[in-house]
Structure 1
Amino acid sequence: MKLKCLFLLLLLGISFCVHAQKRPVILEKQLEIIRKEPDNGDALKFLCQYYLNKGDYSKTITYAEIMKNVADKTKNPLLQLYSYIYQAQAQMMSGREKIAKKNLNLSLELATKLNNDSTLCSVYGSLGLYSANIETDYYRAIRWLYKGIQLAQQNNFQQQYALLLGNLANIYYLKKDTAGIKYALECYELGHSMRNPYIIYSGAVNSAYMYFLMKQNEEAMKYIHEAETLMLENDFYDQAHTYNLFGNILYDMGEYAQALEYYKKAMKDKQAAQTSSIVYAHLGYARILMQQNKQLEAILLLKQGIAISYARVNAIHRNELYENLSTCYEQLHQYHDALKYYKIFRLENDSLFNKDKERDLSEMRFKYDSERQENLIKQSKLDVMQKEQRIQQQTFILIIIVIVLGLLYYLYHRKNKLYLSIVKQNQEAIKRETELNRRIKELETNAPSMVSTSEKYASSSLTDEKSLELFRTLERIMREEKIYKDNFITKDKVAEILGTNRTYLSRIINEQSKLSFTHYVNRFRIEEAIRLLSDPNNETPLKAISTELGFNSISTFYNLFQSSVGMTPSQYRNKVMELQKEQ
């Protein structure tokens, strides 16, 4: 017996599974079946799905537990798997995250054991939902969803494939990444080809979100109007999600009064909406109140949203609530509270950042453990001679790996020492240069003033001595006046400053420095960048440094710095901080 229609919750506001229509006749029929046949697995699955669609998680869990008892009694592992999935999803959406994770792990283990690809697609999607809603780990959510999508493609599970695409598009929206538009539109087109109202709705909502993110509000309105029509015709669950999007688009268009009405509609849907939708409705409403200088009312709404977020264990949008709460207090000149909530906002964001840093390593470990376990299972089926041969091969490979890893570590350590050495040399050179410049200035103050540059070099011909003197003057104004910081600097401008012409200027720079004009200017820019980055107390952002030094793009700055120094500006700054800590 295969799972017929177990789909995933579209993350953060789209209802779970197929369209959640009001079906009292069908519902009564299934309840009647249960009264006559309490162990009827199909009727129990229908009831779990129906109440999950309607947001009645208590009844979903009740029938899922009955299903588990029936599965144990009849020794039906597939029915047991369904019970785990339904319980996990209902527990997740009702804020019982720990027991939900336990049931998700049980469902993953059992679905893998049964080799049931249909249920495995649903489990992968549910794990993606958990990662996004509970852990606010969007990267991991995407990984789970891709697993489900690949499996659905391999088995031609069109409906599950389409819904997973909708999930994926929603995660891309949360990451503010417009690349998700292709997944949303594919979901939308598949819905029309299958004539499935819910999948069309899913694709339309996510397409609207993507176009909203791309600032194409007219296109977004076209899709959201279609989604609203389908939602009302079919009584889809979590209508607050759609109303929030209406509010967002209208807010962005400056139609605050209309946007406010949609946020109010979303807030009325508390019992039948997902937590993230209700939280966002509070956020959207509060933003409009802030526009109207009603900060006290906005603060009340934001705190209500935060309370709901914690009560239902859903961290999505929580950081935005804290950020806007801090802004409200700042606008009221209550700076103590503004700072308090801003710190909480930063902690929320830093938490997400730290998760991003650890993610790749965790995935590599998981993959390694899985592959190692598979190898052990395969080895157990081989005879003694094959085992010995495999052990010898593995030992040889392990030795190679150890050698390679050792070599890589040695090269890394050597490169790190080289980087630190470069930084030390630069810092020492900067100190010496600073001291020399100080002494030169002392000597110059006591020396007679030189002849005006413009008078001296107005002549059309230059002797070697004059060329050298002109180059020294150029070097001086480069270092003292730092004219290289002008990102529109040209040979004509510099020639005018020196009282000569561009042809002589180019010739002198080439003769004295063996560089073109552009390379000559960039040399000073890179030297100044090294000076700035060598100071451990300098926290100026790299983009700001790039602009200040006259570079037209940060990529040009990065490429020239790495070409000159041997490492990127960010690597250089990290090594400076590392040296600082050692001292």
Structure 2
Amino acid sequence: MMKHIFLIKIIIILLFGNLVYAQRSKIDSLHEFEYPELKNKFYDYCDHNKVPQAKQIAKYYLQKAKKENNILEIAEGYNLIHFNEKFPTALKYIDSLATITKDIKGNLYPARSYLLKGNLYYKHDNLKAALDNYILALKYAKEQNDKKQTAYANMNIAYINSYIGKNAEAAKIFRYYLYNGNNITDDYQHNQMRIALISCYLEINKLDSANILIKEGEKYALVGKNKYDLNSYSYLSGTYDLKLKKYSTAIIKLSNAYTYFTNSNENNNANYSLFNLGKAYQGAKNKEKVAETYIKLDSNIQKSNITFPELREAYTYLIDYYKEKNDKEKQLYYIDRFLKVDKKLDEQLQYAFTELPKKYDTPKLLEEKEDIINDLKKRKTILYVAISALLLILLLLTYLYYKSRRAERKHHKIAQDLIHSVEKRHKIDPETEVTEALIEELVQKEQKTIKNVPEEVVQAILKELQHFEKKEHFLKKGITLSSLAQSINTNTTYLSEVINSHKEKSFTAYLNDLRVDYALERLIEDKRFRSYKLAIIADELGYNNAQAFTAAFKKKTHTTLSTYLKEIENTMTIK
């Protein structure tokens, strides 16, 4: 699974207009330059990784602005100087920028302050804080009717969406600004939109579209003779080959990109190149090279402490690799590394990864970790004790295995019965239309007297509930007993009594059952719906998170969602 490697650089670039590649010259007469020229030189040095020279220009820029008491340029000086500082210092500079601009009238601030702060948090791997600031930036940009900063906020949020796996959604934004970015993006930024869109297309397997844009981008990079762009497209082309299972060419391109980004101190880009290089070696069935590549990746991650979602795959591969080699020390080491990275990713992305297949879930790894530690200790004792302990573990694992298999078979049987039940209903009446007359008939059949609720009120509520079910309003998010009662012009007491009596369940159970029944049918009927990430499916069903949906699904059906989906695929394959 591939994520584009250029997010941090791109989202920073997006804020600052045209990048003019100024002629290189020694910084010996900065007083001769005006603010625009100094700014161009600063970005030129940044683009060519000349950090000391860039820092010197930023420092001079801020001094010049303070001397002239030019508030807007002082703010710009804080912006320039924060780029090459460590996080705490950089954050102080941006806070200073926000303070000095708080009383400035116009449409640039405070939206720009929030965009800068969001970029800084994103650069330092704090997605939640980055997103919070981008949303604030979008709010103020819209209030000030600033189309450019509104676009930048939308694009930055799109990068985060792509990062967490919502690539189809992000692609719409990137494509829009790629082809409708007049007066918003310059040639440089236009190229970054192309790179971002290619990354999304590769992720959602629109390979033909991705390849067309790669060829277009390579021509752009050759004309500009920009090594960074050339190697960016080399990476994307290598990832494209990886998708096509052309592992030999993918390895060459990704290796070249990795070498360039490493030599240019583009560490995050180098790490993504290294990850996909490992995937290419894996496709080529070169286990030793995969392990070597992922070990190097882990070493790099420890230095930067900046993670990305696909890292889980690298660590699970290394765990299995050393498990096959019966190297428990290294297996234990990479379990520890996995748990640290996994904890950070969970904190960062919360439920965003619950839909991803997890080969090693955290509790299971913790148990395995303890088993390995105990096993290593027992090796130091006498042979008899060690063999006895291993036999006990083997018996326990065997028992757990067969117990798990029984539970799995039970879940599969339930899932099969559910599928057959849904299909049987469709065969009996595949085109049933719930008419007003039928609703009235169904309501009349439910003749139960409820104490303290007038009969005409009961019938009215039942009719409204029929409409509620027919129109699938139960899929809306945030439905409560109170909101539903208000929408059908009754009170919560009456509504609760009718549901408890006529539906024979609580309001919460009633709502969950409707949603789960809807999911059971739609997952069978709609292949596209089945392909969605779990968090997106849950969202479409009205749940706030994936965990709530999976819990409701299991409570009603007594099987797991993953088992139900697997049985659907098996049924479709047989047909």
Same-fold call, TM cutoff 0.5: yes
For residues 282 and 487 of structure 1, the distance between their equivalents in structure 2, rounded to whole angstroms, comes to: 43
Superposed, which structure 2 residues align to 1:509-548 within 5 Å? none
CA pair 492-293 structure 1, distance change in 2 beyond 3 A: closer
CA pair 482-110 structure 1, distance change in 2 beyond 3 A: closer
For residues 145 and 539 of structure 2, the distance between their equivalents in structure 1, rounded to whole angstroms, comes to: 46
For residues 173 and 123 of structure 2, the distance between their equivalents in structure 1, rounded to whole angstroms, comes to: 20
Matched, 1:86 2:77: no
Superposed, which structure 2 residues align to 1:130-141 within 5 Å? 130-137=120-127, 139-141=128-130
Corresponding letter in the other structure for 1:228:
E
Equivalent position of 1:185 in the other structure: 175
1:287 to 268, 275, 279: 279
For residues 117 and 308 of structure 2, the distance between their equivalents in structure 1, rounded to whole angstroms, comes to: 16
For residues 9 and 314 of structure 2, the distance between their equivalents in structure 1, rounded to whole angstroms, comes to: 18
Superposed, which structure 2 residues align to 1:27-38 within 5 Å? 27-28=24-25, 31=27, 34=30, 36=32
CA pair 68-571 structure 1, distance change in 2 beyond 3 A: same
Corresponding letter in the other structure for 2:52:
S
2:271–2:300 Cα contact (<8 Å) kept: yes
1:173 to 162, 175, 181: 162
Structure 2 unaligned regions, length at least 5: 353-412, 426-446, 448-515, 556-575
1:162–1:186 Cα contact (<8 Å) kept: no
For residues 92 and 313 of structure 2, the distance between their equivalents in structure 1, rounded to whole angstroms, comes to: 30
- RMSD across aligned C-alpha pairs, in angstroms? 4.8
Matched, 1:570 2:551: yes
2:307 to 312, 315, 327: 315
Deviation of the 1:136 alpha carbon: 3.6
Equivalent position of 1:487 in the other structure: 419
> TM-score, length-normalised on structure 1?
0.55
Q: Deviations over 1:445-481 (max 9, x none)?
A: xxxxxxxxxxxxxxxxxxxxxxxxxxxxxxxxxxxx9
Q: Secondary structure at the match of 2:84?
A: helix
For residues 569 and 324 of structure 1, the distance between their equivalents in structure 2, rounded to whole angstroms, comes to: 27
Aligned length: 385
Corresponding letter in the other structure for 1:108:
A
Corresponding letter in the other structure for 2:104:
L
For residues 340 and 122 of structure 2, the distance between their equivalents in structure 1, rounded to whole angstroms, comes to: 18
Deviation of the 1:34 alpha carbon: 1.4
Overall identity of the aligned pairs, in %:
12
1:45 to 36, 39, 60: 39
Matched, 1:329 2:322: yes
2:6–2:269 Cα contact (<8 Å) kept: no
For residues 85 and 558 of structure 1, the distance between their equivalents in structure 2, rounded to whole angstroms, comes to: 38
For residues 186 and 84 of structure 1, the distance between their equivalents in structure 2, rounded to whole angstroms, comes to: 32
Deviation of the 1:140 alpha carbon: 3.4
2:119 to 118, 129, 144: 129
Corresponding letter in the other structure for 1:64:
A
For residues 332 and 326 of structure 1, the distance between their equivalents in structure 2, rounded to whole angstroms, comes to: 10
Equivalent position of 1:6 in the other structure: none
1:145–1:168 Cα contact (<8 Å) kept: yes
Q: Deviations over 1:292-330 (max 9, x none)?
A: 343333333323333333434533355554344335434
2:194–2:213 Cα contact (<8 Å) kept: yes
Equivalent position of 1:340 in the other structure: 333
1:244–1:284 Cα contact (<8 Å) kept: no
For residues 166 and 492 of structure 1, the distance between their equivalents in structure 2, rounded to whole angstroms, comes to: 47
CA pair 67-319 structure 1, distance change in 2 beyond 3 A: farther
2:102–2:109 Cα contact (<8 Å) kept: no
Equivalent position of 2:240 in the other structure: 249
Corresponding letter in the other structure for 1:56:
K
1:20–1:235 Cα contact (<8 Å) kept: no
For residues 198 and 175 of structure 1, the distance between their equivalents in structure 2, rounded to whole angstroms, comes to: 25
CA pair 570-52 structure 1, distance change in 2 beyond 3 A: same
Deviation of the 1:213 alpha carbon: 1.8
Matched, 1:112 2:112: no
For residues 208 and 537 of structure 2, the distance between their equivalents in structure 1, rounded to whole angstroms, comes to: 37
1:558–1:569 Cα contact (<8 Å) kept: no
- If you compute each CA radius of gyration, which structure gives the higher value, 1 or 2? 1
Matched, 1:11 2:7: yes
